[in-house]
Amino acid sequence: MYRFVFTQVLSRFDPEDVHHLTVRALHLLSVTPAVKRLVHRRLAPRDPALRVRAFGVHFPGPFGLAAGFDKDAGCVEAMSALGFGHVEVGTITAHAQPGNARPRLFRVPRARGIVNRMGFNNAGAGAAARVLSRPRGVPAVVGVNIGKTKVVPESEAVQDYVTSARELAPLADYLVVNVSSPNTPGLRDLQAVELLRPLLAAVKEVADATPRRTPLLVKIAPDLADDDVDAIADLALDLGLDGIIATNTTIRRDLDAAGRGGRPDEHWNETGGLSGRPLKDRSLEVLRRLRARVGDRLTLVSVGGVEDADDVWERLLAGATLVQGYSAMIYEGPLWAHRIHRELSRRLRRRGVTDLREVIGLTATGADTLTGGNEGWRR
Ligand SMILES: Cc1cc2nc3c(=O)[nH]c(=O)nc-3n(C[C@H](O)[C@H](O)[C@H](O)COP(=O)(O)O)c2cc1C
């Protein structure tokens, strides 16, 4: 049904207009308590086998909404009701900013991807804090993703992140330092360990000082060299971070899906970050590399090109405790997360698994031999 609506109607409109309309509809859902509770009862994950605990936080299911959809935290309840096990809001910056000029969001449907150069359009940390402090009508796990305000020079980046962290860490179930979006000039340079260490250390001090000690994660780009992925993993361990989110969008275009469906997509070469199916292989590769490096000493959150329960399953087996997605929702519709959790639930039941921990990391380096080879677990 959604696919029909998408191809016949939505795909004819500007993707950002459709996004704003969707956010408005979701907001309406959020301000209608009875409907919100009903939707939550029908669609949110309820199977105890899907529950997962990461960095001290309880998640009703492993699959959550990646950052970038809910920039100003207005859809947390609606997206949780629709079946996401957590919602990562943002990226939020210390100061409100308009983002880049439109058009800045493009579908690349043959490749099942999205290109965006939004540039952290958001109403700022203060506004998000006001939204996040309101009581909620349905349970929701909320990650808050923070980034650098565009006009703030790199030399003042640490203070800018700290300002956001002070506002938002007390309201977050976990906090994410985003240094990996390609659309803020210079942002990804902060991934260099010499710059990243003081930044993460300063934000961690703020996160550690909240009454519940807010878990802190860093989100990295898929375009890092493998050695740099290792260096960030080592740094995260050294600083006592809680986890790593991998990955953000890519600036590469030499990826497998370019020619899918014959002709390349019209907007394939737009400037910006590419997400969705073309990112799948690299995102999985980075996850495997991180798992080989850190084992289960850090929580790994895998994101990039996840389209269905098979993809989520594969990431869990490869060592992710949580998995996120965004782009495929544009092609799959509002029941996407619900369907993924339902299928995962069936899969666990078929195998008699009552605790997701039995699955996480099962096919990560070395584990195959421990379990006597488990090809059958892959599906
Ligand atoms: C339109 C759009 C906006 C995004 N904005 C952000 C953002 O503000 N902060 C962030 O950390 N990631 C952002 N992302 C990246 C996603 O969180 C995710 O890491 C990436 O899209 C890969 O996942 P996917 O293939 O499931 O979309 C954005 C992605 C898209 C498609």
**Does residue 121 register a pLDDT over 50?**
yes
| Inside any domain, residue 134 | yes
Domain assignment present for residue 328? The answer is: yes
The confidence score (pLDDT) of residue 244 equals: 98
Please report whether residue 279 resides in a domain.
yes
30 is catalytic: no
Closest Cα to atom 14 of ligand 1:
68
When pLDDT is averaged across residues 325-348 and rounded to a whole number, the result is: 96
Ligand 1 centroid–CA 249 distance in Å is 6
* pLDDT, tens only, 165-202: 999 999 999 999 999 889 888 889 887 888 999 999 99
Quote the domain boundaries for residue 206.
Answer: 2-364
What is the token pair recorded at 126? 């203060």
CATH classification at residue 27: 3.20.20.70
- Is residue 113 a contact partner of residue 277, using CB atoms and an 8 Å limit? yes
Taking only the tens place, the pLDDT of each residue in 126-169 is 999 999 999 999 999 999 999 999 999 999 999 999 999 999 99
Mean pLDDT within 311-318: 98
Residues 6+ apart with CB under 8 A from 246: 219, 220, 222, 229, 283, 286, 287, 290, 300, 301, 302, 303, 304
Paired sense of beta strands 273-276 and 113-116, if any: antiparallel
Per-residue 3-state assignment (H helix, E strand, C coil) for 74-141 = CCHHHHHHCCCCCEEEEEECCCCECCCCCCCEEEEHHHCEEEECCCCCECCHHHHHHHHCCCCCCCCC
Among 93, 252, 286, 326, the mutation site with the greatest number of ligand 1 atoms within 8 A of its Cβ is 326
Residue 118 CB less than 6 A away from ligand 1: yes
Pocket flag, ligand 1, residue 279 (CB < 6 Å): yes
Helix (H/G/I), strand (E/B), else coil: 303: strand
Handedness of CA 226, 228, 232, 234 (dihedral sign): positive
In a domain, 228, yes or no: yes
Domain assignment of residue 375, yes or no: no
Residue 178 lies in a domain: yes
CB of residue 179 inside a 6 A radius of ligand 1: no
Residue range 210-254, pLDDT digits in tens? 999 999 999 999 999 999 999 999 999 999 999 999 999 999 998
The number of distinct structural domains making up the chain is: 1
